[in-house]
Amino acid sequence: MPEWRIVACALAMCGIQVCYAAQINMGTAELLLLGISERAVSLAWLAGPLSGLIVQPLVGYASDSCTSALGRRRPFLIAGSLFTAVALLLFSNATALAAYLVPEERSMRVALVIAILSFFLLDFSIQAIQAPLRALVTDVVPRRQRSLANAYIGVFTGLGNLIGGLLTALKLTALIPIFQTDIQALFSIAALVLILTVAICVFVTTETPLRAAGYRPVAGVAGAEDLNYDGSPQRASPTSNTDLDGSLLLPAPPQQESQSTWVSLVTTLKGIPRPFWQVFAVQLCTWVGFFTLFVYVNTWVGRNVYLGNGRDPRGTPGRATFEKGVKLGGKGNAMTAVVTLAYSLALPRLLERFGTTFVYAFSQVVEAACLLCAPLLRGVPGQVEPSVELRLATVADIGLFGIVWATTMGVPWTLVGNALDSDPWYAQRVGLFTTLFNASQSFPQLIVAFAAPFILSMVQNDIAWVMFTGGICAALGALLVVFLRVDVFEGEEVAVIGEEED
């Protein structure tokens, strides 16, 4: 597959990540401003795991059997991007919209309701883009180039984070005076970038349409003998999972299965190739750590490093100090993006030289170290602002997460894609099982969302200790990488960025 087409396919991840960066950088701070408590804010972030556990499997299942002329995945990319744009605009304009709809004395409460609802819509709709995009990459990119495609996804993840972080650090209302607040400008730009990148992906990527067929295909076995619905043998087409006109064939309907639904489900899950579950276990640990960072990183900088107060009214010294910390957190996230971008470019060669186990374990160690350091990076009471050394250490601590981001955006998904591809039945249902794998990222978010208030109640609301707990889980992930031997890449030829297929 030409490398430029792989780039265009992966480009949609840049738009997705700009939206995530906007949400991560400004979401918690805006919710605090609207009156939500520090303990309750993690519950608002339940949108992410709920959408991952509910929306992604539904979207994955639906896309596997979608018979649209556009293909199986692209209709969901289009719909998801439109809903995401609406959610971004609603969240960033919640205060203005509430002021227009209700009297002033009720506007703050209504604004918070609008913000929370749009926050949930944002996560649900982004998941409706992300799951089909991952499945699309597995569908259209040849196996040898799959690590290359996932490396580009890592590159665009870093680029999206960089754009979002830099935009957060800028005074956007001074540059674009048509907006009243920076969050309105940031979220509007994020919506525009998403629409443009998804449009390029949809336009350039070619999918083979799926249509219902009268027999159950066995993907990847040329000339295999298949069964009609009545059980009689039937000769498959030369490509096995395509009809004579080139259309992909839809598997037999569920009622034809001899087993009950639950027995079939258990059998299916048990039969998934072992590397799938190995990587799943590591991702559970990785994302417990990630979620503590996503929810609290900018608030941590504003409160623990700058000693500001995000709940003070705008214009007060405590609020101004807190906002300076949020801006520094945005710079740290921009540094994360730069590191992600650079490390993603180097990742295929690192995998080729050092092997998957070392590279994957190293990323987990970096994540653990960054999060375990959070309680140590703290301002001094009475300071006007943090020292230069403390600010540099804070930005470096956040920035090193780029190594983790680049690795987790590429390595686990390549391993899982290859594991599913090793079995024809699972390869045919890659949309469903890639969304099942996403539960390894969603379930940890539920754990953090419910555990964080309990941890905060024991440590006087010091969010650094929530991040510290995430670091312990990341360290466990490093041990799992080593002891479970997640090394599918070993001995396998890997495509490298800039190296065209013959």
Task: Note the pTM of the prediction, 2 decimals.
Answer: 0.67
DSSP 242: B
Q: Return left, alpha or beta for 37; rule: phi > 0 is left, psi -120 to 50 is alpha, else beta.
A: beta
pLDDT, tens digit, for every residue of 438-469? Answer: 778 778 878 887 888 888 888 888 889 999 99
Residue owning tokens 């799959």: 146
> Tokens representing 267?
């059998």
Residue type, 369: A
Whether 174 and 311 share a structural domain? yes
Whether 231 and 312 share a structural domain? no
The per-residue pLDDT of the chain, averaged, comes to 79
Q: State how far the Cα of 144 lies from the Cα of 129, in Å rounded to an integer.
A: 25
Three-state DSSP state, 249: strand
Polymer length of the chain: 502
Q: Is the pLDDT of residue 141 over 80?
A: yes
Among the three residues 251, 277, 312, which one is the final residue of a domain in this structure?
A: 251
Among the three residues 226, 251, 276, which one is the final residue of a domain in this structure?
A: 251
Whether 322 and 372 share a structural domain? yes
Does residue 393 lie in a domain region?
A: yes
Whether 291 and 396 share a structural domain? yes
Whether 162 and 184 share a structural domain? yes
Whether 72 and 91 share a structural domain? yes
More confident residue, 476 or 290: 476
Does residue 450 lie in a domain region?
A: yes
**φ, ψ of residue 400 in degrees (nearest 5):** -65, -15
Q: What is the pLDDT of residue 490?
A: 43
Whether 342 and 310 share a structural domain? yes
**In which band, very low, low, confident or very high, does the pLDDT at 31 lie, cut at 50, 70 and 90?**
confident
What stretches of 301-428 show up as alpha helix (H) in DSSP? Answer: 317-354, 356-372, 388-399, 401-421, 424-427
- In this structure, are residues 401 and 165 in contact, taking their beta carbons and an 8 Å threshold? no
HEC sequence for 387-409: CHHHHHHHHHHHHCHHHHHHHHH
Three-state DSSP state, 57: helix
- In this structure, are residues 398 and 334 in contact, taking their beta carbons and an 8 Å threshold? no
| CATH code of residue 371 | 1.20.1250.20
What stretches of 143-206 show up as alpha helix (H) in DSSP? Answer: 146-169, 172-175, 182-204
Whether 341 and 370 share a structural domain? yes
Does residue 22 lie in a domain region?
A: yes
**In which band, very low, low, confident or very high, does the pLDDT at 211 lie, cut at 50, 70 and 90?**
low
Q: State how far the Cα of 460 lies from the Cα of 458, in Å rounded to an integer.
A: 6
Full domain range(s) for residue 191: 3-210+266-484
Provide long-range contacts, Cβ within 8 A and 24+ apart, for 181-184: 181/92, 182/26, 183/26, 183/30, 183/92, 184/92, 184/93, 184/96
Beta bridge partners of 250: 212
> With the CA atoms of 113, 321, 23 and 97 taken in that order, what torsion angle do they form, in degrees rounded to the nearest 10?
40
Does residue 498 lie in a domain region?
A: no
Q: State how far the Cα of 356 lies from the Cα of 490, in Å rounded to an integer.
A: 7
DSSP 248: E
Q: Is the pLDDT of residue 37 over 80?
A: no
Whether 445 and 394 share a structural domain? yes
Does residue 261 lie in a domain region?
A: no
Whether 241 and 272 share a structural domain? no
Per the structure, how many domains does the chain have? Answer: 2
Beta-carbon count within 10 A of 266 CB: 12
User: Which is nearest to 211 in space by CA: 245, 250, 240?
Assistant: 250
Q: Is the pLDDT of residue 155 over 70?
A: yes
Whether 246 and 305 share a structural domain? no
> Tokens representing 269?
């899950």
Question: Among residues of the chain, what percentage have pLDDT more than 90?
Answer: 22
Q: What is the pLDDT of residue 498?
A: 52
pLDDT, tens digit, for every residue of 264-294? Answer: 556 666 667 777 788 888 999 999 998 888 7
pLDDT, tens digit, for every residue of 333-377? Answer: 888 888 888 898 888 888 888 888 889 999 999 999 999 999 999
Q: What is the pLDDT of residue 128?
A: 82
Q: Is the pLDDT of residue 432 over 70?
A: no
Three-state DSSP state, 378: coil
Stretch 122-136: mean pLDDT: 84
Q: What is the pLDDT of residue 426?
A: 64
Stretch 115-134: mean pLDDT: 86
Whether 204 and 219 share a structural domain? no
